[in-house]
A and B are shown apart, each in its own frame.
Chain A
Amino acid sequence: MHSEKQLLQRAKDFDLEALEEIFNRYNDGLYRYAYRLLGDASMAEECVSETFNRLLQAFHNDKGPDKYLRAYLYRIAHNWIAAYYKKHTQPDLNLELVLDHLSEADDNTASIAEINMQREWIRKAIIDLPVPQQTAIVLKYFEGWSNKEIAAIMKKTVGAVKALENRGISNLKKKIQIESVRRDRHGSR
């Protein structure tokens, strides 16, 4: 196992072993990150592929990171996903149906189809957040990053990252609240 600095030095010289080690270290995490935000295995795979390709291009152009490689890779993936969603809008989901099941979240009786729908709902809710909030939440709550690491990738202070996380969580709660109210109105008619 090499230190990241050594690894980067060798990778910039296109040392294939070093590049393979970088790929092995980070590709699964990047895939999970991409999958969570894209909800599609082949798109997530493409995102990973493009992320590493852009890293190679950066090295080829004598650019690329001297440190924080993981943050650098996630930033590329994040940009790729953000660009993807600028081009492709997702169809609306039936949130009412989702919330019917959410109210019974305690009983663990949701079917696979219901869970898939719930997963789609929360994915869309997260994707609808402003991109910085989206990134902070996914990295914090799903990838388990520290606020310091998130601050590095987002080029922000730790305090700003915490604020983004709080705003993101608050916005997600609002979305659930809005759908609950809408559902109640439909139910009372």
Chain B
Amino acid sequence: MDRDSRLNKILKYLFGVMDEAPPRSPEASEATKSRFLTHAKRYKRARDRAAAPASPVLRARRIRYQAVLGTLLVLFFLFAGGLGSTAYAAQGALPGEPLYDMKLLFEDTRILFANSTEGKLSLHLSFANERVFELRNSLNSNDEISLMAVKHNFDYHVNSAQLIIAQDASLLAYENELEKINLDYYMLVSNEEEPPGESASFDGTPTATATQPFIVTNTLVPSAGPTITPTQNMTQGSAPTDTPSPILDTTPTIIHSLTLSPSPTLTLTPQPEPSQTTTPTSTLTVTATHTVDMCGGISLSSLWFDEQQVFRTIINNSPSTITISQLLLEWPEDNEELIKIELNDDAIWDQKDTEPPSNIPAESGWKLGVDRVIGVGQSLEIMFQFDEDAESGDYNTTLTFDNACQVQATN
């Protein structure tokens, strides 16, 4: 038998061996099917809801009722004293109203004191719902700063809820509720923002990066309820404009540092700030700082290869539509030239680059007339086309988006 015939025979034998795949487990097969159909139903629901008319008033009322009732109950236990009446007054506050920041503060306090993970999750969902309600009732407002704060507080509650669900499989049942809230919100926001794909003023104005969270600062001067006067750690005689600035960080690790003094004095956490002084009669200005990570939902998949092409997937689970503004790409020199870049089969760059790294648009501009937009919830493939077969190696990819978020992947 000549060598080639022998090799053919061995190969045929080996192919025969490989063809004998073991039978598939019916249970596993059924589970895969069930997962697929569950996902399909969710997508169908999302499609149906998107096609449905704007959300009903009754639902808004129900959400408001639940939020108000929940707030009242917890505040009763937490602040049975003098602050209770302020809390009561604050719970119905809308964005831009004097007691609105107080309302957010009390919500965060409730979350802080929730006695179980499920309780925290439930509160996050409830407050996200409340933000949707507020947004719906404030769409005609011109107070963009307040609306922006509502949106970022919504993001905070939704991101926190997602994080809790991701860390505890027993809470997966809440995913549907979260999805409903998200849909309500995006239907609302998409009706409001225009044109799609452009950064609306709410989300586009601030600068955010993956490492530098977005910071919104709101100032509140309470005008209803008992007068709040700072007493502790403050020296009389200074200018009345001095403002103690308790920090409320609404990232998952919440730090509340607030010195308040209704009559009688109540101190949640003393904040030693000897340099801050005010007169005893000045009205306390509470500044709440909400820190929200706008970039956490944006990610870049690992690579896959197909001859001269290298692929990644850009996933945008952030609350805003994003546009690629800058790309930094390294590649093995053996690939010769970078010829083209496509986003979801549309060429977004087609100027040749002969040596790595490529810095677009610093070295050569994007293709005109083609958008580089990744919508909310979208996963789009970005393809890099080379002159020669793509070698394995480092393909360090750094993408920067119009909202200043940045993602990076190496392989």
Chain A positions near chain B (C-beta within 8 angstroms): 13-14, 16, 19-20, 23-24, 27-28, 31-32, 35-36, 41-42, 45, 48-49, 52-54, 56-57, 59-61, 63, 79-80, 82-83, 86-87, 102, 105, 115, 118-119, 121-123, 125-126, 130-132, 141-142, 169, 172-173, 176-177
Contact B36 A23 (CB under 8 A): yes
* Among B20, B31, B43, B392, contact of A119 (Cβ-Cβ < 8 Å): B20
Q: How far is the CB of B65 from chain A (nearest CB, A)?
A: 33
* Whole-angstrom CA separation of A4 from B229 in the bound complex: 73
B41 interface hit (Cβ, 8 Å): yes
Contact A86 B21 (CB under 8 A): no
Known A41-B24, A142-B18: A102·B39 in contact at CB below 8 Å: no
| Beyond A41-B25, A83-B301, A122-B18, 17 additional pairs, beta carbon < 8 A | A16-B37, A19-B36, A19-B37, A27-B32, A28-B29, A36-B21, A41-B22, A56-B39, A59-B43, A60-B43, A86-B304, A86-B305, A105-B10, A115-B17, A118-B17, A126-B18, A176-B10
* Whole-angstrom CA separation of A128 from B14 in the bound complex: 15
Residues of B close to A177: CB separation below 8 A: 3, 7
B33 interface hit (Cβ, 8 Å): yes
B11 interface hit (Cβ, 8 Å): yes
* Among B9, B32, B43, B311, contact of A56 (Cβ-Cβ < 8 Å): B43
Chain B positions near chain A (C-beta within 8 angstroms): 3-4, 7-11, 13-15, 17-22, 24-25, 28-29, 31-33, 35-37, 39-41, 43-44, 46-47, 301-307, 311, 344, 375, 377-380, 389, 392, 411
* Whole-angstrom CA separation of A125 from B33 in the bound complex: 31
* Whole-angstrom CA separation of A41 from B304 in the bound complex: 22
Residues of A close to B411: CB separation below 8 A: 86-87
Contact B10 A87 (CB under 8 A): no
Residues of B close to A52: CB separation below 8 A: 32, 36, 39
Residues of B close to A102: CB separation below 8 A: 10, 13-14
Contact B302 A35 (CB under 8 A): no
* Among B4, B31, B36, B344, contact of A53 (Cβ-Cβ < 8 Å): B36
Residues of B close to A119: CB separation below 8 A: 17-18, 20
Contact B392 A27 (CB under 8 A): no
Residues of B close to A86: CB separation below 8 A: 302-305, 392, 411
Contact A142 B19 (CB under 8 A): yes
* Whole-angstrom CA separation of A92 from B41 in the bound complex: 43
Residues of A close to B24: CB separation below 8 A: 28, 31, 35, 41
Which 9 A-B pairs give the minimum distances between C-beta atoms? A14-B44, A122-B14, A83-B304, A173-B7, A105-B13, A82-B304, A52-B36, A19-B40, A49-B32
Contact A130 B389 (CB under 8 A): yes
Instruction: List 6 A-B residue pairs with CB atoms under 8 Å apart, sorted by A's residue number.
Output: A41-B28, A86-B411, A105-B9, A122-B17, A172-B11, A176-B11
Q: How far is the CB of A101 from chain B (nearest CB, A)?
A: 10
* Among B15, B29, B47, B379, contact of A142 (Cβ-Cβ < 8 Å): B15
Contact A16 B302 (CB under 8 A): no
Residues of A close to B379: CB separation below 8 A: 54, 57, 61
Known A36-B18, A122-B15, A141-B15: A60·B41 in contact at CB below 8 Å: no
* Whole-angstrom CA separation of A176 from B12 in the bound complex: 12
Residues of A close to B392: CB separation below 8 A: 86
Residues of A close to B389: CB separation below 8 A: 130
Give the most central of A48, A49, A60: most B CB within 10 Å.
A60
Contact A20 B37 (CB under 8 A): yes
